Amino acid sequence: MNRALSENKKTSIMNVAKGVLLAVCLTVVLVLILAVVYKFVDLSDSVIKIINQIIKVVSIGFGVFICLKKDKSKGMLKGSIIGSVYMLVSFLVFSILVSTFNFSITILYDMIFGALLGLIFGVIFVNFRK
């Protein structure tokens, strides 16, 4: 019985990690596409900020969907973990790419935003029928 619980926890952790990793990968791809579009189209800073937020929402939704695709339990918890960890990991990845680490209260707000988005997506995707 304990072994089955341990395997279930391991699977859940792996699904959450997979969701975060794929969400970050999707974000990198979408940001690269945005960079190419930016080369050819003159976009204002306000439009880029909106597109960045859309990319975050889509990526978190994708990560939560991947995590909950096979195991539709604890959607709120898994979704909020994916959202907040995604925000932290994406901050670290893009900080490394730009070679600057600017820690501010904004990171905390982003993590809270990510957790709430993940929670909402978790509720939605747990209730999807096959």
Tokens of 94: 């893009």
pTM summary value:
0.88
Grade residue 45 by pLDDT with cuts at 50, 70 and 90: confident
Are 114 and 84 within 8 A, CB to CB? Answer: yes
Whether residue 46 is predicted with pLDDT greater than 80 in this model: the reply is: yes
Gap between the Cα atoms of 127 and 38, Å rounded: 38
What pLDDT sits at residue 58? 97
- Percentage of the chain surpassing pLDDT 90? 53
Q: Which residues, at least 6 apart from 11, have a Cβ–Cβ distance to it below 8 Å?
A: 71
